[in-house]
Amino acid sequence: MSSRPIYIPHSAEARKRAPQLPHDRKRELRIWWREIDRVLLVLVLLLMSVGTLAVAAASPASAHRLSTTETTLPDLYFFWAHVRWQMLGLLVLAGTSLLPLDLLRRGTILLAGAMLFLLLLVPFVGYEVNGAKRWIRFGVGVQPSEFLKPAFAITLAWILSWKLRDPRLPVIAISGGLVGVVVMLLMMQPNLGAAVLFTGAWLVMVMLAGLPLQRIGMLAGAGIAAMLLAYLTYDNARNRIDSFFGGPTAYDHVDLANRTLTGGGWTGSGFWLGENKMRLPEAHTDYIFSVIGEEMGLIVCALVVVLYLTIVLRVLIRLVDEDRLFIILAASGLTALFGGQAFINILVNLQLFPSKGMTLPLVSYGGSSTLALCFSMGLLLAVTRRNPYLAREPFDMRDALEKEDES
C-alpha cells in the first residue's frame, strides 16, 4: 500500500471563505514596486525632505510677520502644519500611483471639469489674499487652479491623442480653445503666472503631438501679441513688468529676496541664523528659495536646481522607449507644469523674472497646493510605470499619421 498522502481538494464553499484580499493586496504591491520608477520616487521624496528643512528655516520669519497683538504664532507654526500636509500628501501620492491608468484617466478628466467649474465661481464666491482672489473655502482654502494643473495635462493628452484615431479631428483647435478658457478665467483672478504656465505646457504638448513648425511660429507670435495686450490693458501685468525692467527699489520684494538669497554666501549663515529672512514677505512660500540661500548657502541652492533638472531628465529618459502617444503627452505635460513652475520661482528669486506669486513645488509651504502637487507626482509615477520584462519600440508620430492616412 502506497504511503503517498492523499490530496483532498478544498470545496468551493471553503475557497469562498478563504481570505483572498490580503494576498491580492500583497500581489498588487509587488507589481507596483516592480513597475514603479523607483529612481523618480526617491528624487521626489528627497525634494520633499529638502522642503521640510526649508519650511522649518522659514517658519519663524513668517510666524513673526503674521503674528498680531492678539495672537502670537509659535516659531514652528508653519513647519508643523507643513509636515501634516506632507504626510497626507504622501498618502495621496502613493494611492494615486497604485491606481490603474484607465481609472486615472477617467477620474482626472472628471476632476478637470469640476475644477474648471470652481474656477468659474472664484470671482464670485472666492476670497482674496494679497490682492488676488484665487481661493474658495471648503473648511480650508482650496485653490482650484492648483488641482486643475495635473487634470489639465491628462485631459489635454487625451484630446491630442485622438489624432491617432482620426487625423482629421481638429484636436489642436479643441485643446487650444480649452486653454483659452482656462487662461481667461485665470486672468480674472488675477493669476498671470499660472496663465503663462498653462499656456507653456500646452505648447510643449502640441509640439510633441506633431504640430507643424509653421503653426508653432504662428502660436509664438500670438503669444507675444497676447503678452503685449496684457501689458496694455492689464494693470497687474503692467505693474510687475514695469517694476522688473525699471529696476527694484530697496523695499521691493524681489530685491529683498535677492539680498536674502546672497546674504549667506556659498555656505550659508547657518540654520535659523538668517537675519534678512525676517524682513522677507512670504518667506515660507514664494521666496523660500532665498531662505535656503541665506541659511544653507548657494551651494545647496545649486543642488536644489540640479534636483529639479534631474527629475525632469529622468522622466524624459523614461519616455524614450514609450510607444503610446497618450503616455508621452501626459508625462510631458505633467513635467512641463512641474518644471516650469520651479523654473519661474527660481528666476524670480534670482531677480531674473518679474514676480509671479508662484511657489516652489514640493519645497514651499502649502496646504491644498501640497496635496495637488503630490497628486501630480502620483499621476506622473502612474503613467511612467513599466513592466520591466516588456520590450517597447520608440513612438514615431509621423509613421503613425502616415499609416492612418493610408488606411
Q: Calculate the average pLDDT of the chain.
A: 81
How confident is residue 399, by pLDDT bands cut at 50, 70 and 90?
low
- pLDDT over 50 (residue 14): no
pLDDT score of 73: 87
- Beta-carbon neighbour count of residue 391 at 10 Å? 7
Q: What is the pLDDT of residue 250?
A: 44
- 214 pLDDT tier (thresholds 50, 70, 90): low
Q: Which DSSP symbol is given to 7? A: P
In the prediction, which pLDDT does 320 show?
A: 85
What's the one-letter identity of residue 115? M
Residue with cell 508625462: 331
Residue 173 has pLDDT above 50, yes or no: yes
Q: Is the pLDDT of residue 244 over 60?
A: no
Helices (H), 126-170: 144-160
Give the pLDDT score at 404.
44
- What is the pLDDT averaged over residues 309-334? 91
Q: Which residue has the cell 554666501?
A: 265
- Report the candidate in 278, 272, 323 with the shortest Cα–Cα distance to residue 296: 272
pLDDT, residue 251, reads 46
Long-range pairs, 254-259, Cβ under 8 A, ≥24: 254/348, 254/351, 254/354, 254/355, 255/351, 256/280, 256/281, 256/287, 257/287, 257/290, 257/348, 257/349, 257/351, 258/290, 258/349, 258/350, 258/351
Q: Is the peptide bond before 190 cis (omega within 30 degrees of 0)?
A: yes
The residue ranking higher by pLDDT, 340 or 277, is 340
- pLDDT grade, residue 30 (50/70/90)? confident
Cell of 294: 541665506
The answer to pTM > 0.85 is no
In whole angstroms, what is the distance from residue 186 CA to residue 134 CA? 8
What value does the mean pLDDT take over residues 261-277? 84
The answer on pLDDT for 158 being more than 90 is: yes
Rounded Cα–Cα distance for residues 304 and 43 (Å) = 11
pLDDT classification of 234: cutoffs 50, 70, 90: low
**pLDDT confidence of 407, banded at 50, 70, 90?**
very low
Q: Helices 288-296 & 253-263, crossing angle to 10 degrees?
A: 20
Averaged over 379-404, what is the pLDDT? Answer: 67
What's the pLDDT score for residue 396? Answer: 55
**Interval 324-351 mean pLDDT:** 92
Range name among 88-97, 111-120, 239-248 with the lowest pLDDT average: 239-248
Residues 44-61: tens digit of each pLDDT? 999 999 999 999 999 998
Q: If we measure between CA atoms, which residue out of 158, 131, 127, 132 comes closest to residue 142?
A: 127
Q: Which residue has the higher pLDDT, 170 or 150?
A: 150
Percent of the chain residues past pLDDT 70, beyond the cut = 78
Tell me the pLDDT tens digit for each residue of 65-86: 888 778 888 989 999 999 999 9
